Amino acid sequence: MKIQQRMILGVVAAVVLLGGGLFFMSQHRGTAEQGSASQTQNPALAQRYIPYSSGTLAKAEQSRGRTVIFFAALAWCSDCQAADKDLKAHFEKVPKDVTIVLANYDTETALKQKYAITHQDTFVQVDAHGNPLTQWTSGGQGAQALLDNIQQS
């Protein structure tokens, strides 16, 4: 009887783990597809709300516009998720000379150190040389917080 109980528990555990994994993957895929769809529908969003790399940051800085770095850990930060959603929904309000570079708060430790970032949901406006001009947290407000805090160049 004990062998049967162990087999049943093993099967139940496998089903639970597999079901949880499939659920997580379907949730993640849905979020990624929504983000891709909104960027396809809004070309400005795809060109001016871009993932961080040293190359994209350098290109954004050299554009002579106002570059903003948005530090976020979107997987677990509710304010970051809300700010991201708000920016995507209201990107037409973002000034045309603003590029937002989305950096992962958890992995971009050099950027956090360079700009003295101590928590997620922090925006940093930088000049054409990458020097910080101002910084703020959005509290999940995204576009409005950007408009309220960004400096003219």
Give me the CATH number covering residue 97.
3.40.30.10
pLDDT in tens, 41-94: 677 788 889 999 888 888 877 777 788 888 887 888 999 999 999 999 999 999
Domain that holds residue 64: 43-149
Domain shared by 59 and 121, yes or no = yes
Domain shared by 65 and 126, yes or no = yes
8 Å CB contact between 49 and 100: yes
Domain shared by 61 and 118, yes or no = yes
Domain shared by 28 and 56, yes or no = no
Domain shared by 47 and 117, yes or no = yes
This prediction's pTM: 0.69
Q: How many independent structural domains does the chain possess?
A: 2
Domain shared by 21 and 86, yes or no = no
pLDDT in tens, 7-42: 565 554 444 444 444 444 443 334 344 444 444 567
Domain shared by 55 and 104, yes or no = yes
Domain shared by 71 and 144, yes or no = yes
DSSP of the chain:
-HHHHHHHHHHHHHHHHHHHHHHHHHHHHHHHHHHHHHHHH-HHHHHHEEE--HHHHHHHHHTTSEEEEEEE-TTT-HHHHHHHHHHHHTGGGS-TTEEEEEEETTT-HHHHHHTT--SSSEEEEE-TTS-EEEEEE-TT-THHHHHHHPPP-
The HSE-up count of residue 53 (CA atoms within 13 Å, CB side) is: 5
